[in-house]
Amino acid sequence: MTRERVAVAMSGGIDSSVAAALLVEQGHEVVGLTMQIWPRQPSEEAPPGVRGCCGLDAFDSARRVARTLGIRHYVLDLRAAFERLVVAPFCDDYARGRTPNPCIRCNTQIKFGALLRRAEEIGASRLATGHYARLCYDQERPRWLLLRGVDKTKDQSYSLYALRQDQLARALFPLGHMTKSQTRAEAARLGLPVAEEQESQEICFVSEAGYGEYLRSRRPEVAQPGPIVDREGRQLGRHRGIACYTIGQRQGLRVAAGKPLYVVGIDVDGNRLIVGEEEEVKFHRLVMREVNHVSLARLPAGGKKLCAKIRSGAPLAACAAWPVEGEVRLEFARPQRAVAPGQAAVCYEGEAVALGGIIQSAW
């Protein structure tokens, strides 16, 4: 095996720590890189919502792991890039009544954007992360393929769909062939100081108070109370701010209508939530833009049968996909519940990510 200098994006958690350790065991020259997002100094108060891989505790954990492994470790200041490329678009999307997935932008713009460029500056040939996904190169296409992780309960290929071919060519996912339990066992075997740490499932820059409170601090205009109305415009109640709701939501409406009601529309200009019955949040078709082609360089004009996920935790659903004037349209065999504009729809062909894009509308 050729010895390479490999950079590892170390968040201070168990997954990236085991990824670094496995690469050390394989004989690579490993360099740990941790993103500094905030705060600047230990004495500074972190902005509302800082936790997990964004806080000072992450730096300390990553340093301890690096010392245990005997590798170099650097903390890189990416605050400006993260604010511009992840946080600001996240807030802007909610202000437009959309439901974004900031992890997708972080993976594409920060980890395999700004951080990868820093890795290249120190002579690293690849950037590894602790994502549960797999990579292989198909000589026949020829294209890099992004495959689902072996552990389907932890698979993160959905949030990586937007990586371009040049980014996939420089990526490494050492945990893609492992289950989470195997990762924990490896951490214990290697004596890593993070072996017993619990992971966070939340957005890294949003506090336990929730994204509604975070947006209230960043975009007060989307956290102003307003009316909840039905399709005919009759007021049924009051909402706490449109940033606190998404299409298909039922919890938290506090509307007494004698039947379950769900968010079926968000009127940003009128600061109104539109509610309806469950059948009104089921959709057979959607259109997506900003499409990234992964295993499929292009869709045939007549369409192609694939499977798709309309959000990270959604099950795969059979669909047909075809190109329409620079966009991609999906038609599902069975209606999908709560298709939210701003989320990503990711299509799979077998284990491989075929393509994905941002949902614009559904009907």
The answer to whether 53 and 93 are in contact (CB under 8 A) is no
Structure pTM? Answer: 0.91
C-alpha 242: how far from its chain's center?
A: 22
Domains of the chain plus CATH, in order, are 5-189 (3.40.50.620), 229-276 (2.30.30), 281-362 (2.40.30.10)
Distance CA 34, CA 132 (A): 19
User: Can you say whether residue 164 is alpha, beta or left, with left for phi > 0 and alpha for psi between -120 and 50 degrees?
Assistant: beta
DSSP state letters, 82-106: HIIIIIHHHHHHHHTT----HHHHI
**Cβ-based burial of 51 (10 A; exposed 0-12, middle 13-18, buried ≥19):** middle
Band (pLDDT 50/70/90 cuts) for residue 50 is: very low
What are 253-303's pLDDT values in tens digits?
988 888 899 999 999 999 999 999 999 999 999 999 999 999 999 999 999
What are 329-358's pLDDT values in tens digits?
999 999 999 999 999 999 999 999 999 999
What are 297-330's pLDDT values in tens digits?
999 999 999 999 999 999 999 999 999 988 999 9
What are 188-232's pLDDT values in tens digits?
998 998 877 766 555 676 665 567 778 888 888 888 899 999 999
What is the percent of the chain where pLDDT is above 90?
A: 75
How much is the average pLDDT of 40-55? 47
The answer to whether 199 and 13 are in contact (CB under 8 A) is yes
Q: Is the pLDDT of residue 58 over 70?
A: yes
What are 65-123's pLDDT values in tens digits?
999 999 999 999 999 999 999 999 999 999 898 999 999 999 999 999 999 999 999 99
Instruction: Enumerate the active-site residues.
Output: 106, 204
- pLDDT greater at residue 150 or residue 204: 150
How much is the average pLDDT of 136-163? 96
- DSSP at 33: E
What are 7-18's pLDDT values in tens digits?
999 999 999 999
Both structure tokens of 1: 């095996």
- pLDDT greater at residue 49 or residue 148: 148
The torsion angles phi and psi of 159, rounded to 5 degrees, stand at: -80, -5
Band (pLDDT 50/70/90 cuts) for residue 160 is: very high
